[in-house]
Amino acid sequence: MATKLTDLAIRKAQPRDKKYKLSGGGGLTLIVMPDGAKYWRLRYRFAGKEKELSLGRPYPALSLKSAEAEAISLRLLLASGIDPAEQRFQTKLDRKQKAAQLFREAADAWFEFRSKAWAPRTSDQVRDYLDKDLLPILGKRPLDAVTTKELAALSRAIEERGAPDVAKKARQWLAAIFSYARANGWASNNPTQDLRAVVLPSMTARNYAHLTLAELPDLLRGLETIDASPIVKGAAMLALWTANRPGVTRTLRWSELDLDQALWVIEKGRDGMKRGYAHLTPLPNQAVAMLREIRKLTGTFEYVFIGRNDPGRPLSDGAVNMLLKRLGYRGRQTTHGFRHLISTVLNEQGYESDWVERQLAHGDPDKIRSTYNKAVYLEPRRKMMQDWADYIDRLRMQGK
C-alpha cells in the first residue's frame, strides 16, 4: 500500500533534473518541476480512456487538504457519469458566453476574429482606437444596455477633438462589433442602426475648419512660440508645408524620405493614403531643415513623428489638433483644414489647378497624363511649394 502523502513530505520534496510525481492516492498526484514549482493533477479513466486534469493552483496556494477535497468532488462527478474535463470546458464556455455580454468582451472577441485577415499595421491601428476611444467609455456596459444616444455622444466627442475620420471609423467598428455580437447570440440590441441619422447633423464644416489667409499669421507665430513638443510642432508645420493628409503626415516613416533630394516618396498601397494611391511630395527647404533636426530625436525609430508613450508607434491622430486647440483654434482650424487653406491660397495666387490637385493627391496618378511616369508635375510643384513655404515665412514675420 502506498504511503499517504503528507504536507511534510511535500515541503521536503526537492527539485531534480527532470520533473517527477508524488502520489496522493486515488489518482491524485503532485508534479514537482525542475524549477521547484509543484502542481496538482488528477488521473482518471472515462469512457475507457485515461485522462489527467489540472487542479488549477499550485502547492502551497492549493494545500494538500484542499487538493484532496477537490479530488473527491471530481470523483463524485465521475461516479455520476460526468467527465470532469468536459464539465470544466462547458463551465468556461458558459462563463465566456456570459462575459461576452459586456461590450469589452464582445469587442475583444470581434477584434481577435477579424484581425486574422488584417495587415499588422491595420490591426495595430484598430487595437489602438479600441483601447483609446471605445473601451474606456463602453467597456463595462452590457451590450443590450448601450443606446444610440450614447454612441452618438461618443462619436461627437471624437469629432470635436478634430478627428472626424476616426469618428467615422469608430461608427463602422461599432456596427461591426454589434453585428458580430448578435450573430453569436450575445446581444439582441442594435444601437448602431440609426446612428448615422443622429450623428450626421453635427458633422458640419467644423470637421475641416480652416482659417482665412488674414488669420494665418497669428497661428504661425503661435506655433513658433508655444511651449510644446518639437515633434508635434514639426508634424503641424509639415502638414502646412506639404498639404498632405493628416493620417499620412503623422505616420511618416524615415524610409520614405530622401532629404538630399528633398523628396517624400509614398509607395502605392501605403496605409493612410486615400485609396492607396502612390504620391511624390516635394519638400521645401524649410521642411528639409526641420526634418534634419527631428532626425536627431527620432532617427533611430521607424516613424519620424513618434508617439508620446510608445516610440515604436506614430504620433496619435489627435496630437496636432490638440496643439491647435491649445493655441485657441478649436473649431476654427484642424490639421485636415490646412489642405483646404493651402488649396484656396494656391489657386487664388494663379498656380495651375492641375499642380494643386496633384499636390493634394487628388486622383490616381497612374491615370493622370504625365511625361515622367508617376512624377506628375514634380518640378513645377517643387517651385510652387517652395514659394508657399517662403510666403508662410513672410506671413509669420508680419507684426514682429
Instruction: Indicate which residues carry an active-site annotation.
Output: 245, 274, 336, 339, 362, 372
147: cell is 443606446
CA dist 41 and 55 (Å) reads: 6
Q: How many CB atoms lie within 10 A of CB 38?
A: 19
**Is 376 in contact with 367 (CB distance < 8 Å)?**
no
For 49, counting Cβ atoms within 10 Å of its Cβ (0-12 exposed, 13-18 middle, 19+ buried), the class is: exposed
Nearest to 168 by CA among 150, 179, 153, 156: 156
Q: How many CB atoms lie within 10 A of CB 313?
A: 17
**Is 35 in contact with 51 (CB distance < 8 Å)?**
no
DSSP letter, residue 152:
H
Query: Does the N-terminal peptide bond of residue 60 adopt cis geometry, omega within 30 degrees of 0?
Result: yes
CA dist 204 and 222 (Å) reads: 26
